[in-house]
Structure 1
Amino acid sequence: MRFNKLDLNLLVALDALLAERNISRAGERVHLSQPAMSNALARLREYFGDELLAAQGRQMVLTPRALGLIEPVREVLMRIDSTITNPPVFDPAKATRTFVLLLSDFTTAVFVPAMLEALYKEARGIGIELRMLSDRPIEQLEQGDADLLIIPAQYVSPDHPSEALFEEQYLCVTWLGNSRIKEELTFNDYLECGHVVANYATGQQRAAFDSWFLDRFGIKRHVEVSAPTMAALPRMVVGTDRIATVHKRLAIQAEAILPIRLWEPPLEVPTLEQKLQWHRHRDADPALTWMRELALRVGKTI
């Protein structure tokens, strides 16, 4: 099918090339061989009168014309997907669709089990693919690499709709054999202990808390261990005098299996608000609407 002399099938190839900036990976993304994708690129170059992808050393870079095509091409394809290819009525009991969710290990541990239980009861044919948050989650959402994003409120994009999913408090965690903290956790204890912290790919989790802590108290915590996980922090204080500031639900789960003690923080830690976000062009997708409503319903129960 052609529109203004452009073979519309080439839009899918173009979207993959713009996202991957590599012919082989783009071909894998849309299930085309490398020769077929090279041919598609040649036809696109002829249509646009532009190289689109240009060699720079061992890499391919997008030309200014190609950079300007990223958002409009993605939006066209997402509009087609949400308004034309998806059926107007969604029956969860009969559906076999798979949804991709971007989320943290914290959300995976405390929210996903309840969501999967609800899905099993209401829509056994629905599949879920969980992916860890990257350093560019909004970009992944805009490129169509994820259906839903679960992320702290301070990181949501104002360009796409979102709703509050659930809130979380924090607790401090120490080993039962901690030689410093026995009967009471004071603010001085908190400052003097070595800290175990989460430090994701983006550094946002650690940076957000430490930035707030520095702004609030004018001092830095003494970080001795950082790890790309929140769920494992309670285990990392065992056998040491270190301390971790952990999401409350994770801390309570860990207390059931580890020799640890939980403390109310000796300072007022801001509440964490987790939000559910989706692409603005998918707002009317009946399947995604149903999935959002299920997630929001589950979020009220955990």
Structure 2
Amino acid sequence: MNLRSVDLNLLVILDALLEERHVTRAAMRLSLSQPATSSALERCRFLFSDPLLIRSRGEMRLSAKAETLKGPIRSLLMQAESVLEQSETSLHDIKKTIRIIMADLPVTAILGPLHQRLIKTAPNLNLIIQPWHGSASALDGLARGEADLAVSVFPNVGNSFRCVELLNEEYYVLMRKSHPAVAQFDLSQWLSYPHIMVSGQGESYSAIDQVLLKQGLSRRIALVVPYFQMVPDLVAKSDYIALLPSRCLPKNATNDFVIFPPPVAVSGFSLHLAWHLRSDTDSAVNHVSDVIRELTSSSSALLE
């Protein structure tokens, strides 16, 4: 095949189509019109002599040939980006907006230091912090190109993403000092009072409740809130009991609160940073990623 007769921009569009499996979503991701993207798909079908995307039960699936093309096309585009990046401007001059999905753990601790670092190293980068609504939603945002980085608990991200561990967390029970359960705190006391739960998805059942269920026990989730920051003030003014990650406990907590280890075995969790493979050669995204990793590393006291 003569490459001079091929519009290589088609590969960029085809990459998005094979990733999204949806013409409209691919068009939105590429900032193209839906008709232009549909037209590009038809040209790709002619170029490869294959339907590539096949409608089935209201959805689009990849043809066998499209499955074999997906990896090589992505690899080819990444190599091209790497070649072009050699002549890119320095970080100091890059003008770009980086979108980060992140819950208030760890955003409240690292956003200030992150901003201060970027002022010095990449002053023309803008940040948009997007709300966290669960790991599945975060990965979907990365896949759709609606976010560049995501901080969440990611047990498994699949082959389309990169993922690194930022930190490990443990849970603690938080109550006000004058709470009636303080004097003889145990499992029975813990379950006798209403609980506050933090959930970005509005869920009122967690892995902790599964542990209790196996013992024939349950707790009352009386209040579900989307942010950890909301919890201390609510606990301070009520008989609510909260289970919080250690880094979400209020500063000088022992002045106003009592902190206990959980009365049941509660597993901690690892917090991760993830991004889509398409960002591997994006120097701006990589720089922000590196700074976040440094600020949340085990040697950093920012989150302690």
Instruction: Report the TM-score range of the alignment, normalised by the length of the smaller protein.
Output: 0.7 to 0.9
What is the TM-score with the length of structure 1 in the denominator? Answer: 0.73
Q: Does 1:87 align with 2:83?
A: no
Displacement of 1:115 after TM fit? Answer: 1.6
- 1:79-228 map, 5 Å: 79-81=79-81, 83-87=82-86, 91-131=90-130, 132=132, 133-138=134-139, 141=142, 146-152=147-153, 154-155=155-156, 162-175=163-176, 178=179, 180-183=180-183, 185-201=185-201, 207-211=206-210, 219-228=217-226
Q: Deviations over 1:56-89 (max 9, x none)?
A: 4xx54224448725555444434433x1232367
Displacement of 1:195 after TM fit? Answer: 2.0
Secondary structure of 1:27's partner? helix
| 1:98 partner amino acid | T
Displacement of 1:252 after TM fit? Answer: 0.5
- The 3 A distance-change label for structure 1 pair 134 and 151 is closer
More displaced 10-residue stretch of structure 1: 46-55 or 29-38 = 46-55
Q: Provide the residue aligned with 2:243 in structure 1.
A: 245
Q: Deviations over 1:111-155 (max 9, x none)?
A: 323222222243221222333355154465566654433233645
What is the TM-score with the length of structure 2 in the denominator? Answer: 0.73
Aligned length: 294
- The 3 A distance-change label for structure 1 pair 159 and 19 is closer
Unmatched segments (≥5 aa) in structure 1: none
Query: What percent identity do the matched residue pairs reach?
Result: 24
- The 3 A distance-change label for structure 1 pair 281 and 10 is closer
- The 3 A distance-change label for structure 1 pair 254 and 119 is farther
Q: Provide the residue aligned with 1:35 in structure 2.
A: 35
Q: Is the 8 A contact 1:52 1:63 kept in 2?
A: yes
Q: Deviations over 1:175-197 (max 9, x none)?
A: 5664x334453332212222221
Q: Give distance in 1, aligned partners of 2:199 and 2:65.
A: 34
Q: Is the 8 A contact 1:169 1:271 kept in 2?
A: yes
Secondary structure of 2:124's partner? coil
Alignment RMSD: 4.1
